[in-house]
A and B are shown apart, each in its own frame.
Chain A
Amino acid sequence: MDSVVITITSGKGGVGKTTTTANIGTALALMGKKVVIADADIGLRNLDIVLGLENRIVYDSVDFVEGRCKLRQALIRDKRAGELYLLPAAQTRDKTAINPQQMIAMINELRDEFHYILIDSPAGIEQGFQVAVAPADRVLVVTNPEVSSVRDADRVIGLSEALEKGPAMLIINRINSARVRKKDMLSVEDITEILGSQVIGVVPEDEEILSSTNRGQPVVLNSKGSAAQAYRDIARRIVGENVPLTMPSNGSFWQKLFGRA
Chain B
Amino acid sequence: MASFREFFFGKKSAEDAKSRLQFVLIHDRAEISPGLFEEIRNDIIMAISNRLNIDPSYISINMDEEAGERRLLVDVPLKNARRPTATRSTADTRR
Contacts and interface: CB of A to CB of B under 8 A. Distances in A.
Contact of B9 (A147, A180, A190, A257): A257
B17 A183 contact: no
Contacts of A151: 21, 24-25, 28
A158 interface: yes
Given A147-B20, A257-B9, A184 B14 contact: yes
Contacts of B15: 183
Nearest to A180: B14
Interface string A172-183: 000000001011
A210 interface: no
B10 interface: yes
Contacts of A147: 17, 20-21
B22 interface: yes
A146 B13 CA distance: 11
B21 A187 contact: no
Interface size class of B (residues with CB under 8 A): 10 to 19
B65 to A, nearest CB: 9
Given A147-B20, A180-B14, A185-B14, A194 B25 contact: yes
A155 B31 CA distance: 11
Please classify the interface of chain B as helix (H, G, I), strand (E, B), loop, or mixed, using the class held by over half of its residues: helix
Interface residues of A, number: 21
Contacts of A194: 18, 21-22, 25
Interface of A: 146-147, 150-151, 154-155, 158, 180, 182-187, 190, 193-194, 196, 256-257, 259
15 contacts: A146-B17, A147-B20, A151-B24, A151-B28, A154-B28, A183-B9, A183-B15, A184-B10, A185-B13, A186-B14, A186-B17, A187-B14, A190-B18, A194-B22, A194-B25
**9 smallest beta-carbon distances between A and B, as pairs:** A183-B12, A182-B10, A183-B14, A190-B18, A147-B17, A194-B21, A186-B14, A184-B13, A186-B17
